[in-house]
Structure 1
Amino acid sequence: MKTDLKIKSLLFGLSFATAGFVNAQTTQNTNDTVNNSTTITAQTNGISNPEIEALKKQIAAKPDDTQALVGLATAYQNANDWTSAIATWNKITTIIPDWAPAYYSIGYANQSAKDNNAAKMAYEKYIAKVKPEEVEANKQNLAYAYFFIAFLDKDTDKEKAKQYIAKSLQYDSSNQDALNLSKSLMN
């Protein structure tokens, strides 16, 4: 019950704080987001700013403050500090292991850091964690997660890629990149 209350409170706060951020994650162009390289090129130069420092202090005082942790992970992502963002999202998953958006964000951060294998694993966890009653609210992110995995698997597991691109199109039938991938997999 306490975890449900934490999750509901976190979701409410997060919906206001990161609405634009989540939208930015789901509206990227394939050419910008899918890189066939698996080399990690994370930008880990210890980026800091007043927002990050304030959130760190807040978390130091209360390490399990999930709202502050989400704010910190988002601030790291906004600063392109992918390693710190991933570490913070992972901390959130240890506190709230069934909260699907954290896994999506881990996927996004890994993808931004050019670690597509880690991104794929995180997106797969995200897909598995979305509860049936949450599907409607997660359609865009589900569509993207399925698309990303299908794109990565198109050359190594064509059947899985076909299944995943079909799921992607089920959630967003207007995504031109997904439609193009679907056509290419049918040849």
Structure 2
Amino acid sequence: MKTDLKIKSLLLGVTFLTVGYVSAQTEHTTATQQVQTAQSSSPEIEALQKQIAAKPDDTQALVGLATAYQNAGDYASAITTWNKITALIPDWAPAYYSIGYANQSAKNTDAAKSAYEQYIAKVKPAEVEANKQNLAYAYFFIAFMDKDSNPEKAKQYIAKSLQYDNSNQDALTLSKSLMN
């Protein structure tokens, strides 16, 4: 019962946080990395770390910390923190989406694909409507990753992606290329 309450209270907040995370950063420069390092030790992060040190199972603080790490570009710390959340709330789908995003941003494409697959599996039927954009992207990413190695799976996944968002031009282009 307590886990259900935690899941419901966090679902809305993280859904809003993750909706904007559809494209990963593609270039990192030394200056950008220096800024990210400075940001990953921000007062916000430090305050959240202290809060979690006092109460390690505070899932709201953990979500805030994971999000702050992602915003700072500290994807390794974000992934570690999202994994702590999945240990506390193993059926909470948005955490897996965020793990996928963080891995994709860190250019860990295999880990991103795995996390997006877990996300898809964890979304409950009652949550589909609220997760349409993220589901569309997760299916698209997996289809894109599988287009050469498993074209049949890619076709199924791109069709699912378009079912959730039929206006995504990248998904439409991939769909066309898979049909040829």
Q: Same fold (TM over 0.5)?
A: yes
**Percent identity of paired positions between Structure 1 and Structure 2:** 77
Aligned to 1:69, which of 62, 66, 77? Answer: 62
Aligned length: 172
Corresponding residue number in structure 1 for 2:21: 25
- Residue 177 of structure 1 aligns with an amino acid whose one-letter code is D
2:121 match: secondary structure = helix
Corresponding residue number in structure 2 for 1:103: 96
Asked if structure 1 preserves the Cα contact closer than 8 Å seen for 2:99 and 2:112, the reply is yes
Structure 1: unaligned runs, 5 residues or longer:
36-42
* Structure 1 Cα separation of the partners of residues 111 and 26 of structure 2: 13
2:41 match: secondary structure = coil
1:98 match: secondary structure = coil
After superposition, the CA RMSD in angstroms is 1.9
Q: Deviations over 1:42-65 (max 9, x none)?
A: x69583100000000000000000
> Is 1:10 equivalent to 2:10 in the alignment?
yes
> Runs of 4+ in structure 1 displaced over 3 angstroms?
32-35, 43-46
Measured at CA, do residues 156 and 116 of structure 1 come closer, stay the same or move farther in structure 2, by a change above 3 Å?
Answer: same
Structure 2: unaligned runs, 5 residues or longer:
28-32
Q: Offset of 1:10 from its aligned partner?
A: 2.2
Asked if structure 2 preserves the Cα contact closer than 8 Å seen for 1:34 and 1:148, the reply is no
* Structure 2 Cα separation of the partners of residues 22 and 115 of structure 1: 18
1:147-186 map, 5 Å: 147-186=140-179
* Structure 2 Cα separation of the partners of residues 34 and 145 of structure 1: 18
* Structure 1 Cα separation of the partners of residues 176 and 88 of structure 2: 41
Measured at CA, do residues 69 and 92 of structure 1 come closer, stay the same or move farther in structure 2, by a change above 3 Å?
Answer: same
* Structure 2 Cα separation of the partners of residues 72 and 95 of structure 1: 15
Q: Offset of 1:11 from its aligned partner?
A: 2.7
